[in-house]
Amino acid sequence: MESVPLDFLGELRRTHTCGELRESDSGKTAVLMGWVHRRRDLGGVIFIHLRDRDGVTQVVFRADKDAELLKKAELLGAEYVVAVEGVVEERSADTVNSAIPTGRVEVLASSLLILNESRTPPFPMEESVDVKEDVRLKYRYVDLRRPHMQRNIILRSRVAFAVRQTLYEQGFLEIETPFMTSSTPEGARDYLVPSRVQPGSFYALPQSPQLFKQLLMVSGYDKYFQIVRCFRDEDLRADRQPEFTQIDLEMSFPQAERIFEVIEPLVRYSCEVAGFDVAIPFPRMTYEEAMRSYGIDKPDLRLPPFHVLEGDFASLELAFPPVAIRVPKTGVLSRRERDELKAFGTERGLRVYDDLKKLEPAIAENAMRTTGAEEGDYVMLAGWAGAPKGQRPDYTFFQACGQLRLFAGQKYNDRHKLLDPQMFRFLWVVDFPMFEWNEEESRWTAAHHPFTSVHDADIDKLVTDPAHCRAKSYDLVLNGVELGSGSIRIHRRDVQSKVFAALGFSEEEAQRRFGYLLEGLQYGAPPHGGIALGLDRLVMILAGESSIREVIPFPKTARGTDLMCGAPSPVPARQLRELGIRLSGE
């Protein structure tokens, strides 16, 4: 390989990216730099597909033009990095390649510099080749070069820019908050960072900037935002990562509607940069409605709701009136198909009436009418078979119905095709319950987080009837995925203390964990509220992917490992000693 003078790249200016070349450039000289995507040697003529971030361009080397240069082109291997100079030529009609945007032209090379060689890549760049995820993650720098990853990462950048643009336009300030901090309560375990100068003491990485952003409101920065990394040590699933990115914001003096007014254009613009039009405002639904019609707090509106039937069902001897679930356009289901749905419901405590013909005609007719069933739709009835369960037994029942609705809806998607990934159904779910019952610990926990305001009408129920206290909280939901949550916060010290008490925190514990917030609230805290949206999930859906790892440049595996750099890894004993840490078993 020749050595390239250090100032070479500055002198030989790139005049085009691969994606830019058009017929109109014909006759002009182009300088292109990029990677050898593919090489075809026809003997006397070599074609290479030169690739950069913007696409692919064909470059031609001809023996009859420059035999020396052709020899050099023979050395090129996959993923070599080159600079090519040449004249842009229009291709003859029979050689036009309509598969690439620059397919009407090619560059006839007059010089070639090999800027770097490449080992044979661990997998080809072609999208069609299925590569195991482990290998992709180990060689992530190569994987990120593949066109679909480039598309995803570029989309992520565009969405982040769209978010910044809309928020700056609305007067928000981008303010950073610390990564090395003390515990923030978002319900997961903390990642801890040991302090060397204070042995035995630890920082916690933030689960979110929640308390800092609230304190920024106390400080008078009335519109804050940050595109920020959050860290939660929890069991990982397809849409979870130990570190993930939130679009986090907070405002002073808002009602929930004001937060929605900020978020809706932000989300619409993010969709627009991904090529999708969505209408705003988004519909709103209370948590109560979501549970009664979908059995879940993040309804996928692309599938029809279920319906609680009205009438006399004494003959069925159920704990609650039954629910009718419609699955559109399934056609007549076989006995085996119905049995599968029935078994799914039964496992979740439901009594499933999978064949309406076996029910009293009036009940069957009621179910068909109430669900608006049409020819070819399948309707089943679900009731609660056993004794009512849980603090809100009605919700336990609806949740099971919701699971059956989703299972059946997903199962027969190939027939009704309603779960179109490009159909974006956004929804605000509002008025969540303030508390959730924690079965294991036999106590109430905050459904959102403990800084959430209770509904004015429910303040008196905080201690007497926690199960029926509604919070001023809201979730943004898209196609059954929770994109983010937020709330109007508690801004008064006395109310915050009451909520801590309802959650079973002693005054000392509240002081120890959140003393600085409690103190801050006493120095002129304005009413405030905010929200955080998951950037990874938003981009995942806009990119049409089903895992957030596809839109995160350097993600971790389900076991929290970075396969490329090998984190987490043991550290030398000396480092542990400095930190005053001794591992158990030593």
Q: Which is nearer to ligand ASP, 305 or 486 (CB)?
A: 486
Which tokens is 108 given? Answer: 């006839």
The residue range among 120-128, 284-292, 420-428, 480-488 that interacts with ligand ASP, by the rule CB under 6 A, is 480-488
Q: Which is nearer to ligand ASP, 58 or 487 (CB)?
A: 487
Q: Which is nearer to ligand ASP, 186 or 354 (CB)?
A: 186
Q: Which is nearer to ligand ASP, 309 or 447 (CB)?
A: 447
Under 8 Å between Cβ of 116 and 86:
no
- Matching residue, tokens 């993010």: 270
CA separation for the pair 306, 345 (Å, rounded)? 14
* Max Cα-Cα span within the chain: 93
Compute the least distance from the CB of residue 114 to ligand ASP, in Å: 49
- Total residues at interface with ligand ASP (CB under 6 A): 9
Instruction: Return the residue of 270, 453, 479, 487 that touches ligand ASP, per CB under 6 A.
Output: 487
453 binds ligand ASP (CB under 6 A): no
Please calculate the CA angle 263-268-272 and round it to the nearest 5 degrees: 150
CA separation for the pair 232, 230 (Å, rounded)? 7
491, amino acid identity: H
DSSP 443: E
Q: Which is nearer to ligand ASP, 177 or 487 (CB)?
A: 487
486 binds ligand ASP (CB under 6 A): yes
CA separation for the pair 312, 321 (Å, rounded)? 8
Q: Which of residues 160-199 bind ligand ASP (CB under 6 A)?
A: 186
Compute the least distance from the CB of residue 182 to ligand ASP, in Å: 15
Under 8 Å between Cβ of 345 and 397:
no
Q: Which of residues 2-41 bind ligand ASP (CB under 6 A)?
A: none
Compute the least distance from the CB of residue 532 to ligand ASP, in Å: 4
Q: Which is nearer to ligand ASP, 231 or 306 (CB)?
A: 231
Compute the least distance from the CB of residue 403 to ligand ASP, in Å: 24
List CB contacts of 428: < 8 A, sequence separation 6 or more: 260, 282, 283, 284, 285, 474, 475, 476, 477
Q: Which of residues 189-248 bind ligand ASP (CB under 6 A)?
A: 208, 210
User: Pick from 59, 28, 31: which is nearest to 46 by CA?
Assistant: 59
237 φ, ψ to 5°? -130, 180
CA separation for the pair 584, 366 (Å, rounded)? 65
Compute the least distance from the CB of residue 474 to ligand ASP, in Å: 9
Q: How many CB atoms lie within 10 A of CB 184?
A: 23
The residue range among 96-104, 117-125, 169-177, 479-487 that interacts with ligand ASP, by the rule CB under 6 A, is 479-487
Compute the least distance from the CB of residue 460 to ligand ASP, in Å: 24
Compute the least distance from the CB of residue 510 to ligand ASP, in Å: 18
Strand partners, 310: none
Q: Which is nearer to ligand ASP, 208 or 479 (CB)?
A: 208
Computed from CA positions of residues 142, 145, 150, 154, in that sequence, does the dihedral angle turn out positive or negative? positive
Compute the least distance from the CB of residue 436 to ligand ASP, in Å: 14
Instruction: Return the residue of 447, 485, 542, 556 that touches ligand ASP, per CB under 6 A.
Output: 485
Please calculate the CA angle 24-30-34 and round it to the nearest 5 degrees: 120
Q: Which of residues 523-552 bind ligand ASP (CB under 6 A)?
A: 530-532
134, burial (CB in 10 Å: exposed 0-12, middle 13-18, buried 19+): exposed
Q: Which is nearer to ligand ASP, 214 or 399 (CB)?
A: 214
Compute the least distance from the CB of residue 210 to ligand ASP, in Å: 4
Compute the least distance from the CB of residue 490 to ligand ASP, in Å: 12
Which residues would be at the binding site for ligand ASP (CB under 6 A)? 186, 208, 210, 485-487, 530-532
